[in-house]
Amino acid sequence: MIEALEPVRIGLVLVFVLLGLFFTFVSMTGVIRLPDIYSRAHTASQADTLGAGFALAAVALVIGWDGAGFKSLILLFFIFVTNPTAAHGIARAAFEEGIVPWTEGDDRR
């Protein structure tokens, strides 16, 4: 690793960790606050995937050019593929079970 680039790397790690925390916070707020299963699946598949991706990118940057670093990159790719797929499957199962989507004026939370 080139020595002069080390501060850049540390700064990127800090930025990625903070972004990951922020997007996971957005996802948590959505999962708690949104009214029905479909909107919750929406926030769980997008904001949470992005948050996990940023955090795993930070981990890969910390570990560096190493076998474990590649493992965390594989983990990142895997989460990016499977998390939206799982949310889609859950929302589809909810639709097949006949849960009606939330519309304005509906009081359930």
Partner 1 sequence: MSLVDTAVVAGYTVSDVLLLAAAGFVVLAIGMLYRAVKGPTMQDRVLAVNVLGTNTVVILAILGAALSEPTFLDIALIYALLNFLMAIAISKFTVERGGVL
List interacting residues with partner 1 (CB under 8 A). 6, 9-10, 13-14, 17-18, 20-21, 24-25, 27-28, 31-32, 37, 40-41, 44, 48-49, 51-52, 55-56, 58-59, 62-64, 66-68, 71-72, 74-75, 78-79, 82-83, 85-94, 96-97, 99, 108
Q: DSSP of 33-57, one letter per residue?
A: HSSSHHHHHHHHHHHHHHHHHHHHH
Distance of alpha carbon 24 from alpha carbon 52, whole angstroms: 7
Nearer to partner 1 by Cβ, of 98 and 104: the residue is: 98
